[in-house]
Chain A
Amino acid sequence: MIILKYLLLIFVMATAYLAITFEEELISIIFLSIFSIILTTLYLIHNAPDVALAEAVIGAGLNTAIFMTVISQVREGKDSIFREDD
């Protein structure tokens, strides 16, 4: 259990770093979703099942859907998905 916890702590920092450093928003949102799922597991390890259920449903499910909607609305009418001038 302790090894699993340390692994998850490393993963949670790595996914947060990747979610911030990627320029493409879609990849960032996927990593934010993975960040929420790892946080869910950490809450479960720390004996908080109610918080884990809320984080799984809201953080990993609903937030991702809302972010995706915003991406599709913001990119409407723009030519390419990947910008060249990065």
Chain B
Amino acid sequence: MINNFVFVVLFLLGFYAILVKKNLIKMVIGLNIMEGSIFFWFITLTDRGKMIPIVNGTQVASQLNDPVPQALILTGIVIGASTSAFLLTLIIELDKFTSSTNPDQIGGMIED
């Protein structure tokens, strides 16, 4: 329950940054926070309160957590890092041509 509340708060904070902020870097930071909130929610939702899914031969299967969501989230974290690196590269290029990171200014320059 408290995990769901924290997830909603973090997700809305990230979404607020993307909607309102006038700085492309701050928008990427908001995107990172949204990503982190979703990963956190998924890990806490599938946590059964049991042991970590690494055995040394003595544990039995019913004592272990679910390893499948953890593998999915591991994939998601790496992909999130590469996409945010690509977004930041696009920001560098935009700044090189327009000398600005404000999306409104950049939009005005490209329309004219």
Contacts and interface: CB of A to CB of B under 8 A. Distances in A.
Interface of A: 6, 9, 12-13, 16-17, 19-20, 25, 28-29, 32, 35-36, 39, 42-43, 46-51, 54-55, 58-59, 62-63, 66-67, 70-71, 73-74, 77
A58 B16 CA distance: 24
A12 B39 CA distance: 13
A66 B39 CA distance: 21
Nearest to B64: A47
Interface of B: 2-3, 6, 9-10, 13-14, 16-17, 21, 23, 25-26, 28-30, 32-33, 36, 39-40, 43-44, 47, 49-54, 65, 70-71, 73-74, 77-78, 81, 84-85, 88, 91-92, 95, 99, 101
- Dominant secondary structure at the B interface: helix
A50 B10 CA distance: 23
A23 to B, nearest CB: 8
